Amino acid sequence: MRTVKMKKLIIADSLKDFIEQNVSLIAGHDNKVFYIKSAQEALDIHRKERANLIIITIDCSDFSCEQLCSVIRGDEVLKVVSILIVCSEKLSDIERCLRCGASDYITQPVSPAAFLWKVSRLLNVSERTSYRVIVKVVNMEDNKAAHVFCASKNISSSGVLLETDTIFNKGDKLTCSFFLPNSIRIVADGEIMRIREKENGLKEYGVRFFDIPSSVELQIATFVENWLKRKKSYN
């Protein structure tokens, strides 16, 4: 019989009613939930409990998301945790989430289905073996945008592997805009070269970059090299 390891979640108290009314199953017997009223409280509990996931609002009562993520990601022990930030739909808020070192974000009003899906993903992502960055994808043909995940082990100066429930077609031209940790904003045009349907209903898109500036190529190559070194040190 497989033993399910208990997950520890630290969640902003302002989300308590939403969770209890809509997605109470995340507080089931396999999870331990700590509701917090400040970022400092979240930090204190994480130091003691080593949480698997921290869910905070973009501006807590005492710390901003940038300040909290900076402390956590700058600590060799504390940084092994997923961080989900709840923010508004304003582009400025979304870009703050992309830059600060969070694992993902979700906009208000929060969809219960989207919230549960993101929480499930983040609870099953190990920071030691996988690194994910949030990518904004704009389809050049119809100018429609989607926010998807990209696994860094599949990022290179020649392309990227995207996983999303958004429907694209082979040959679609995309503009990928993303922030690597400690990096300026990177923008690269690309084309979908292959598509794979996954068992979970999502689609996997292989995107080949074209006409990528040498400065961007160097930044991506440096990020991948450093990530591989960190991964090797964990093994």
pLDDT computed for residue 27 by the predictor: 61
39 phi, psi to nearest 5 deg? -65, -35
Domains (range + CATH), the chain: 7-123 (3.40.50.2300), 132-234 (2.40.10.220)
With a CB cutoff of 8 Å and minimum separation 6, the contacts of 117 are none
pLDDT 10s digits, 138-195: 766 666 655 565 544 467 778 888 877 778 889 888 888 776 665 567 788 889 999 9
Residues 87-136 have pLDDT tens digits of 998 888 888 888 888 888 888 888 887 787 788 778 764 333 344 555 66
Do 86 and 116 meet the contact criterion of CB atoms below 8 Å apart?
Answer: no
Residue 98's pLDDT is what? 80
Q: Output the pTM of the full model.
A: 0.57
- % of the chain exceeding 70 in pLDDT: 75
For residue 207, report the phi and psi dihedrals to the nearest 5 degrees.
Answer: -110, 130
Tokens 């999870």 sit on residue: 31
**CA distances in angstroms from 82 to 91, 111, 131, 170, 186, listed in the order given:** 22, 20, 10, 32, 23
Q: How many other CB atoms are found less than 10 A from the CB of residue 23?
A: 16
Determine the pLDDT at residue 200.
65
